Amino acid sequence: MKVTITPTGEADAPVSEMILGQNIEMCLTTAHGLLSERLRNPKFVGPPHRMTGLAPEWQGASCGRGFYELTPGGGLLGTEAQLISSPAPNWNPQLHQNRVPVRAGELLELELWARAWHHPVKLRVELRPLASRAKAYDGGEIVVDKSWYARYTLALQVPRDDDEARLVVTLPEGGELWIDQLHLRPQGQPLLCREIVDEMARMRIPTLRFPGGIVVNAYNWRHGTGPAHLRPTMLEAAFHQNWELNYDFGLDEYLDICREQGITPAITLNVATGTPDDAGEIAAYVAAYYQRAGAEPPLVYWHVANHPYAPTTAHMTPAMYADVLQTFVPAVKARYPRSRVIGVMSAAGLTAEHDDWKEALFANAALIDVVQVQLYGGCDPNDAPDVQLQTVTETLVNFEGQMRAFLAEIKRRGADWTLGVAEWNWWLQASHWDGRAFEEPPTVLHGLFIAGMFHRYAALAPGFEVAHFYNLVNCMGILNHRGADVEITDAVEIFKLYRSALPGRLVPLRVVADADPHLDVLCLEDDHARWLFLVNRALADPAHVTLAGFPHHAAETTCLQGDSPIGAFTRREITGIADGAIEVPSMSIVRLKLPKEG
């Protein structure tokens, strides 16, 4: 395939960095990925085991020694607390959890919230190998001597890697106490996973949507504020699955990260189990947060619901959504004036001649700044590789056509809107029912789709404003934290490639190919350089690209190439521009940094 690319004019339309936004949806394992916690069910959430009386994920002494009761209403939160009692001084009851992942050289901190009953209780805490007779890695003693819930800590040194370590708590002298929560974290990481937060900073995320997603329909933002040890963990009702809502990463932590990393907040309003008063109060809380921090309140995007046109727990008619806009939006803007309001609709309605939902938006046009849809492309993972790649191309072309048509309709009807995408991703196999926590590792297909969507967003400038990729951490995430390990996927590197060029201005191009092109081209310009992105979605054929009218000297070249559509990318070296041409490998994403002047 031979392609000639020529700039046809000066850079004009501004392209916002907001097209590189992210989602963190607080369902399933997303909170676990953000937190530094190594234990499962550290807050002893019930129900109790019907035989042992222990909270899920916890075990007691074998052969029935000791007495355990998960006491309703006995904890700090008014929820359960784990009672441990010794029938006799020499019974030495214990509490333990297996499959605790640890790494050599770590210094872990155990945090215990407990209260003694009758008299002080001595605890022996050990981190051990799984084998019952093996020597403990480390251990120490804690004396619980308060009648109220007090915080106790103990440091534990890890000598080797072990994904199946065992945390054991014993009462060597007997006694009785309630344990409200028991945490195990790397020392110096009292709540959040440092590697995840640091990598988010390196990504320079421009905007971050929180808390979802469908999960927002059951999300009470107040539970995610204040001290983390006073926050509940509870069943999550929005997905109708046996999943939990973990509020240890909540609104406070989200706002902290946004403020510290210069991220524009994007908050989804709960219009199902929330009320207009709740919306006004969260807006007031956000304003007060920045005031307490001594920071200027930034622009905030407010998403008015998550696809309530679809049959989820927030499903409603178009007239009901109009009522939501009319009641929720004024409540938010009165408390947080520096707001951009996002109304939502189905992508299927973008080009419909008459769509009731779309008409409800136009009837309330003055309340809305941005209209967002959701777009999940996908194909059968068993399709032939060339069919998979063709499906990516067709999805991108169809999406751009739909958005262009809707932008024309907005202009024709006089609405002062821009467009955006609330959630988007390539979707091969993840499901809500497969027991795999909605995981789907990003592949080359995902990466080529991601790059192609960036090109479409930029091509729609300035009418396209903001997009939020699904999902950042775990749960179809591109940053994954499981147990003791953090994985930074290829998709993260793709976001970084494009982040270098944004914000920028779109350089108009003429692209001439000798065959049906598989090459996707985008050129952006900032104050320092021109950035040319070349995405080759051909299965095997390289693209021989002639650059006419571009400077050829001092080009910096970066290339990610895939081995198969469902494989992984590798970073490879390619030769720079020679005689005004460059060869772009198949299934690759190439970025050229070029000087602005020839």
Domain boundaries, the chain: 2-10+506-595, 17-36+191-502, 59-186
| 369 in Cβ contact with 341 (< 8 Å) | yes
Whole-number Å distance between alpha carbons of 508 and 522: 9
DSSP state of 95: E
Question: In the prediction, which pLDDT does 555 show?
Answer: 80
Give the Cα-Cα-Cα angle 48, 30, 448 (nearest 5 degrees).
145
Question: In the prediction, which pLDDT does 410 show?
Answer: 97
Secondary structure element (H or E) that encloses residue 100, with its range: strand 94-102
- The amino acid at residue 546 is T
Residue 415 sits at φ, ψ, to 5 deg, of -85, 140
Whole-number Å distance between alpha carbons of 212 and 225: 17
> Strand 162-170's sheet: what is its strand order?
59-60, 94-102, 162-170, 121-128, 138-144
Question: In the prediction, which pLDDT does 598 show?
Answer: 52
Whole-number Å distance between alpha carbons of 407 and 157: 59
Question: In the prediction, which pLDDT does 129 show?
Answer: 98
Residue 588 predicted with pLDDT over 80? yes
End-to-end CA distance of the chain: 26
pLDDT-based confidence at 235, cuts 50/70/90?
Answer: confident
Question: In the prediction, which pLDDT does 152 show?
Answer: 98
Which fold would CATH assign to domain 17-36+191-502?
TIM Barrel (3.20.20)
Could you read off the pLDDT of 308-329 as tens digits, one per residue?
999 999 999 999 999 999 999 9
β-bridge partners, 74: none
Residue 150 predicted with pLDDT over 60? yes
Q: Torsion-angle region of residue 506: left (phi > 0), alpha (psi -120 to 50) or beta? A: beta
β-bridge partners, 104: none
DSSP per-residue string spanning 289-349: HHHHTT-PPPPEEEE--S-TTSSSTT---HHHHHHHHHHHHHHHHHH--SEEEEEE--GGG
Sequence-distant (≥ 6) Cβ neighbours of residue 195 within 8 angstroms: 481, 486
Which fold would CATH assign to domain 59-186?
Jelly Rolls (2.60.120)
Question: In the prediction, which pLDDT does 514 show?
Answer: 78
| 569 in Cβ contact with 490 (< 8 Å) | yes
Could you read off the pLDDT of 337-355 as tens digits, one per residue?
999 999 999 999 999 999 9
Whole-number Å distance between alpha carbons of 371 and 368: 7
CATH 2.60.40.1180 at 2-10+506-595, yes or no: yes
Q: Which residue has the tokens 């992210």?
A: 22
Question: In the prediction, which pLDDT does 564 show?
Answer: 94
Question: In the prediction, which pLDDT does 432 show?
Answer: 85
| 340 in Cβ contact with 299 (< 8 Å) | yes
| Neighbouring C-alpha atoms within 13 Å toward the C-beta of 313 | 18
Burial class (CB in 10 A: 0-12, 13-18, 19+), 375: buried
Residue 573 sits at φ, ψ, to 5 deg, of -90, 135
Question: In the prediction, which pLDDT does 87 show?
Answer: 77
Q: What is the mean pLDDT of residues 16-44?
A: 97
- Three-state secondary-structure class, residue 270: coil
Question: In the prediction, which pLDDT does 578 show?
Answer: 77
| 373 in Cβ contact with 346 (< 8 Å) | yes
Question: In the prediction, which pLDDT does 29 show?
Answer: 95
- Cα dist. 493→85, 214, 489, 499 in Å? 52, 27, 7, 10
Mean pLDDT of the chain: 95
493: nearest Cα among 444, 421, 565: 444
Secondary structure element (H or E) that encloses residue 447, with its range: helix 444-459
Whole-number Å distance between alpha carbons of 165 and 491: 32
Sequence-distant (≥ 6) Cβ neighbours of residue 428 within 8 angstroms: 378, 379, 381, 440, 443, 445, 446, 566
pLDDT-based confidence at 518, cuts 50/70/90?
Answer: confident
Residue 26 sits at φ, ψ, to 5 deg, of -85, 55
Percent of the chain's residues with pLDDT above 70: 99
472: nearest Cα among 172, 24, 5: 24
Whole-number Å distance between alpha carbons of 428 and 380: 6
